[in-house]
Structure 1
Amino acid sequence: MRIVLRARGDFEEWRTAARALLSQGTVPRDIEWVSEDAAGSDLFSAPASPPIGGAAPVSVPKAFLPLAESLICHSDPSRFDLAYRLLWRLQTEHALLHIRSDPDVARAHAFDRSVHRDSHKMHAFVRFKEVPASGQRRAFVSWFEPDHFIVARNAGFFRRRFADMDWLIATPKGAISWDGTDVRFCDAPADKPDIQDDADDLWRTYFANIFNPARLKVKMMQTEMPKKYWKNLPEADLIPDLIAGAEHRGRDMAARQASDTVPKFHERLHGRKP
């Protein structure tokens, strides 16, 4: 049976199909999960399955739902099959998710970690640029390139963090926007906006001032700020020169003597001690 999904990180889309398949007793090996993009380019594939009817309630451990929601956001084409295989096995293997050595469970948690890591990078590396606004609120646009379908998943974080302004986050895997009242999501790939912003220089100034050449570890820095994100970060323009000059700046810092001058407020601070 061939199940065609839009495959844009919509958990309800997968769950509706999975519950119906499970209620019909469809074993995992008899299902081919396909995204619309892949189905459209496969001229010789079997026809898509007919619409699926209703489904009986399904019982799963509490831990399965957040894990499955994360799996469906992963970009690996096998994610739907993996999620359904876990669902199928949990009907008889109730303690399955506690067996971390099980290949399916181990793979599921690897996918989950990757999705959470991608979300963390989105929180850290979205850079808003101001655009003209039609109303009283300021408006901003940002471009981000996630590895997985995490855009809708992270809408709540940005709504809470930037509630006082209108914003749009565009990505190759969809876009989210906020107008002060509603969050809107579009799962169609977006185009990268060509926008410059005065705040770019503020990011560069901030990064240059917090950069500590004496503590530089290039590999560790690239672990936290992978190179693939640099092209969309204004402060990343400075990184090659900062790395190249780190050794010299580190020697200068070490050569400076500590100041013997006591700050003028030193005595007043000590005078306040009980």
Structure 2
Amino acid sequence: TDPDADDDGDGISNADEFLAGTNPTASDTDGDGTSDSDEIAAGFDPTDANSLPMPAAIAYYDFEGTSSSVVTDLTFNGNDATVGKAAQTTLGVDGGAPAGGSPATAADLQDGLLTTPIDATPIIGGEGSYTFTAWLKPSDLGGDKFLFGQTSQGIHNGIRSGGFLHQAHWGADTNGATNLNDYLAADEDGWVHAAWTYDGATDTGQIYLDGVIDYEGAKNSPNGSGNLIIGGSNGGGDNFRGLVDEIAVWSE
């Protein structure tokens, strides 16, 4: 084998593959669907199928330096969010999530709403999937306080049933295991990190609270239509109340 050649065409010479412990005749040594060169560039192990680069988000809002009406999508996908209820939505509030990556400012949603241009159709059709994450500092845990929704019915994820993280697809409603009233009573700053995932291939939903799984189980695909909204559900009702920071959206 020529050490200067690149037999598998992955952009890494045979000699460098030998030094990295990868297979010079296979562009994806560990068979995880990501090429050796991409894994090395991202700082992951190309010989370990469980070491995968994080997929790119389709929208990310850190609420730093925002105007009074638009929140910039920092992924450069152009999915800027627009304030839908100006009187109830305040951007650039001092005191974001202290454990987050941009703790200076947050958004205050008091029945507020942000609309996005993200078409949720790929999520609710076929084997579409999603991951939604956010830092939350709720000021009201009573009733229905949804953070992620759609223009019409469909996804409504947030807080429900007296303080539980909740995942719902308009007919597939599930609470997490932890009541936030009890959880936040022992929390130092009142902030929690929440994540909701849905795998369309297996129809499985998950809720995470501060990085720990709070629910996992069977979940039907979302039954609704329209774009993703932030701060409410079904076009803008049952709105979240409190501070939010570092909201991110993935389509897987």
- Shorter chain as denominator, the TM-score bin is under 0.3
TM-score w.r.t. length of structure 2: 0.26
Q: Tell me: higher relative CO, structure 1 or 2? Use CA pairs within 8 A at least 6 residues apart.
A: 2
The TM-score with structure 1 as length reference comes to 0.25
Structure with more of its chain in strand, by fraction:
2
Which protein has the bigger helix share? 1
